[in-house]
């Protein structure tokens, strides 16, 4: 059993997408995505169920704003193979509060607690071997930064790397 329930949810999202195909013989397509999302939700122990005689009202408000952008382009290598490469970015700003002894979730101001920022680059190779078989391989590198508001000047960062390789077979020919 949880001590609090989600009682109010608000989410606003905005996105802009751009795609252009057949830019040149060397660039098959270009995609650009930009978005921003703002999430605000309140959890409490009194809106959706009665308080027990031994419990006091508690609430928590959590807000997060996410800003992201990315781009990818496809480079044809031959009639049956191509490379997709790109970069992306995401920043999350997180804040919250915890109120006890009051039924007003706004009785205490929100405080920013963390900011997460991620930068990434990737590449994927695709080779259509036959009409029913293809080979794919890819790599990705990311840099994550975390800033803690409670500890001014403290930043953590990490680098992550990933790769994959796979062979696919379909019972029906590729379109």
pLDDT digits (tens, 9 = 90+) for 134-145: 999 999 999 999
Q: Is 55 helix (H, G, I), strand (E, B) or coil?
A: coil
Non-local (6+) Cβ contacts of 37 within 8 A are: 11, 12, 13, 14, 64, 65, 66
Instruction: Give yes or no for a contact between 58 and 99, defined as CB atoms under 8 angstroms apart.
Output: yes
Token match 């997408």: residue? 17
Q: Which tens digit of pLDDT belongs to each residue from 23-62?
A: 999 999 999 999 999 999 999 999 999 988 888 999 999 9
Higher pLDDT, 149 or 96: 96
Q: In the predicted model, what is the mean pLDDT of the chain?
A: 93
Q: What is the pLDDT of residues 60-90, one digit of tens each?
A: 999 999 999 999 999 999 999 999 999 999 9
Q: Which residue has the higher pLDDT, 175 or 134?
A: 134
* SS3 state at 22: coil
Tens-place pLDDT, residues 97-126: 999 988 988 889 898 899 999 999 999 999
pTM for this prediction: 0.81
Q: Residue 174's pLDDT is what?
A: 66
The Cα–Cα gap between 153 and 144 comes to 16
């Amino acid at each position: 059993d949880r001590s609090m329930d989600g009682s109010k949810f608000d989410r606003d999202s905005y996105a802009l997408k751009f795609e252009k195909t057949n830019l040149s013989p060397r660039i098959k397509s270009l995609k650009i995505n930009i978005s921003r999302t703002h999430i605000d939700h309140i959890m409490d122990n009194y809106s959706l169920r009665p308080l027990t005689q031994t419990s006091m009202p508690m609430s928590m408000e959590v807000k997060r704003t996410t800003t992201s952008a990315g781009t990818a382009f496809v480079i044809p290598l031959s009639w049956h193979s191509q490379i997709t490469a790109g970069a992306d970015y995401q920043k999350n700003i997180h804040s919250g509060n915890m109120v006890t002894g009051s039924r007003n979730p706004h009785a205490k101001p929100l405080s920013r607690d963390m900011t997460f920022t991620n930068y990434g680059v990737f590449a994927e190779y695709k080779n259509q071997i036959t009409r029913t078989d293809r080979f794919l391989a890819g790599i990705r590198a990311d840099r994550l930064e975390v800033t803690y508001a409670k500890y001014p000047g403290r930043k953590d960062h990490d680098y992550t790397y990933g790769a994959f390789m796979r062979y696919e077979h379909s019972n029906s020919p590729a379109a």
